[in-house]
Amino acid sequence: MSPKVPIEKQIRMALNGDEAVAYAVKQSLVDVVAAYPITPQTIIVEKFSEFVANGEVHTEFVPVESEHSALSAIVGAAAAGARAFTATASQGLALMWEILYIASALRLPMVLAIVNRALSAPINIHCDHSDAMGMRDAGWIQLFVENSQEAYDTTIQAFKISEDPNVLLPVTVNLDGFVLSHTLEDVHMLPDEVVHEFLGGYRRVSKTYVDYLGKEIEVKLDPANPLTFGPLDLYDYYFEHKIPQVEAMKKAKDVVKRVHEEWYELSGRRYGDGVLDAYGVEDADVVVTVLGSTAGTVRYVAKKLRSKGLKVGVVRIRLFRPFPFEEIRKILKGVKVVGVMDRAISFGSYGPSFLEISAALYDLKNRPLLVNYVYGLGGRDVPPVLIERMYQELIGIAKEGEVKEVLRFLGVRG
């Protein structure tokens, strides 16, 4: 199928991941951007400031004094009916933590680009996923991208997913710090008008019925229809207010797939089914799951091993929240061993995606063996030789039929 905008008509630029996100935001008719700089997100903010200073966007840029204020300002802007965006990493995300829950519970659409970076202490500016994993309970949709091209594509898709009337949840787009944010890549962008049409123009606000107004009104701060955002709940209503978030998450997965498919029709680009991107799993005995840019390295090693006749595969998890339990169950059903790679760890437990995948596979009659590989913390490099070693271990486990050590650390000295 040929895309609506053939590759020759797309705008080709050499961009790093941060710049790709900035260009995506530029095209997305965003009304308010409030951000505080933190390595490795700084280029997003700097690039976008250039667009604003040159009058290339109508966006109001608010150089806030902290990340907490950044997300607070974005929540205020979204409540006022604006399309809003911010970006952060690591400590900045940790500082925003209390507001993340509020943004989700108020069902306000917004996009947060997280340039994944390790959490202190010790302070480390390099890539790992511990920052994003710390917010997995907050009620945000979490997407992880593999390269700068996908960062561009996904940031635009994120606005559409977020504002979908069946979703109305904030969305994060996660890209690996330095690995993606600071490395140049060949990025193809769609023309402005195509992106505008894809998003339906400016933000449209969803409606709801409020008894004291006696009619359906737009959910925004509107002097024509006074609404109260952020009330106090006692024990008689809080629980009921959480269920709509659960229901929205249930619907979000299909919206992510649908928006991903629409983008494919426009651009010719897709990443698996939008939720999982699998390679070599049809006949695999051993499969590795992974998030983010490391998937590229894993796929490279898998290809090499497959050419030698070894039945290995790799699944990149693109959508982490809501977690695609059914899709994981389906794709890993007949596999003998699954190596779950996590670039974060929940101290006192396992890596985050290991816990999710365990839950997904629990009900299967013949469950695959699961091994958790925590890797790359603090930006520790993951060269192909390490991945190959992991695959060989997994193949050995498949032969032996048992896992002696579930939690392993890939690439640490000692």
Partner 1 sequence: MIKSEKRVIKEPRRWYELPLSALPYKLSTEYKTGGWRAFRPVVDLNKCVRCMLCWLFCPENAIIWDGKDIKVNYDYCKGCGICANECPVKAINMVPEGGGSS
Partner 2 sequence: MSKVNPYRLWVFEPGKRYNLPIGLNLKKEALERPPLLLPGHRLCAGCAIPIFLKELGLALRGPTIIANATGCLEVASTIFPYTSWAVPWIHVAFENAAAVASGIESAIKALKKSGRLPYDNVDIIAIAGDGGTYDIGFQALSGMAERGHKVLYILYDNEAYMNTGIQRSGGTPQYAWTTTSPVGRVIPGKPQPKKPIADIMVAHRIPYVATVTPAHWADAIRKFRKGLETKGPAFIHVLSPCDRGWRFAESKTIEICKRAVDTCYFPLWEYIDGKGYILTDRSLQIARNPRLKQPVEKFLELQGRFRHLLKPENRDLLRRLQEYVDAVWEDLLSRAINAPK
- Report the distance separating Cα 261 and Cα 250, nearest Å: 18
- Report the distance separating Cα 175 and Cα 144, nearest Å: 6
Task: Identify what 208 binds: partner 2, partner 1, none; CB under 5 to 8 Å per kind.
Answer: partner 1
* CB closer to partner 2 out of 86 and 174: 86
Taking only Cα atoms into account, the Rg of the chain, rounded to an integer number of angstroms, comes to 21
Bridging pattern class, strands 84-88 and 111-116? parallel
The site string for partner 2 over 91-120 (x = CB under 8 A, - otherwise) reads -------xx--x------------------
* CB closer to partner 2 out of 80 and 355: 80
Q: Whole-number minimum distance, CB 203 to partner 1, in Å?
A: 15
- Contact (CB, 8 A) for 83 and 159: yes
- Given candidates 123, 137, 222, 237, which one binds partner 1 under the rule CB under 8 A? 237
Q: How many angstroms from the chain centroid is the CA of residue 404? A: 33
Is the alpha carbon torsion for 23, 25, 31, 32 positive or negative?
negative
- Given candidates 20, 21, 43, 82, which one binds partner 2 under the rule CB under 8 A? 82
| Residue in 279, 329, 325 with CA at minimum distance from that of residue 299 | 279
- Report the distance separating Cα 197 and Cα 267, nearest Å: 13
Q: Which residue has the tokens 């999982």?
A: 276
Which two three-digit tokens encode residue 282?
């049809």
Task: Identify what 355 binds: partner 2, partner 1, none; CB under 5 to 8 Å per kind.
Answer: none
Task: Identify what 243 binds: partner 2, partner 1, none; CB under 5 to 8 Å per kind.
Answer: partner 1
Q: Whole-number minimum distance, CB 60 to partner 2, in Å?
A: 4
Peptide bond before 122: cis, by omega within 30 degrees of 0? Answer: yes
> CB under 8 A: which stretch of 169-177, 231-239, 303-311, 339-347 binds partner 1?
231-239
Instruction: Kindly state whether residue 13 participates in binding partner 1, applying the rule CB under 8 A.
Output: no
> CB under 8 A: which stretch of 31-39, 138-146, 179-187, 320-328 binds partner 2?
31-39
Phi, psi of 52 (to 5 degrees): -65, -45
Q: Which residue has the tokens 């032969």?
A: 399
The site string for partner 2 over 165-204 (x = CB under 8 A, - otherwise) reads -------------------------------------x--
| Secondary structure, 3-state, 90-114 | HHHHHHCHHHHHHHHHCCCCCEEEE
The site string for partner 2 over 208-227 (x = CB under 8 A, - otherwise) reads ----xx-------xxxxxxx
- Given candidates 230, 309, 348, 401, which one binds partner 1 under the rule CB under 8 A? 230
Q: Whole-number minimum distance, CB 64 to partner 2, in Å?
A: 6
* CB closer to partner 1 out of 164 and 277: 164
Task: Identify what 50 binds: partner 2, partner 1, none; CB under 5 to 8 Å per kind.
Answer: none
Task: Identify what 102 binds: partner 2, partner 1, none; CB under 5 to 8 Å per kind.
Answer: partner 2
- Report the distance separating Cα 350 and Cα 368, nearest Å: 17
The site string for partner 1 over 90-129 (x = CB under 8 A, - otherwise) reads ---------------xxxx---------------------
Task: Identify what 398 binds: partner 2, partner 1, none; CB under 5 to 8 Å per kind.
Answer: none
Q: Where are the alpha helices (DSSP H) in 32-140?
A: 42-53, 67-79, 90-95, 97-105, 130-133
Instruction: Kindly state whether residue 163 participates in binding partner 2, applying the rule CB under 8 A.
Output: no
Q: Whole-number minimum distance, CB 211 to partner 1, in Å?
A: 4
* CB closer to partner 2 out of 20 and 44: 44
Phi, psi of 176 (to 5 degrees): -70, 130
The neighbouring-strand residues paired with 278 are 315
- Report the distance separating Cα 78 and Cα 255, nearest Å: 20
Residue type, position 160, single letter: K
- Report the distance separating Cα 62 and Cα 36, nearest Å: 9
Binding site for partner 2 (CB under 8 A): 31-32, 34, 58-60, 62-66, 68-70, 72-82, 84, 98-99, 102, 202, 212-213, 221-234, 237
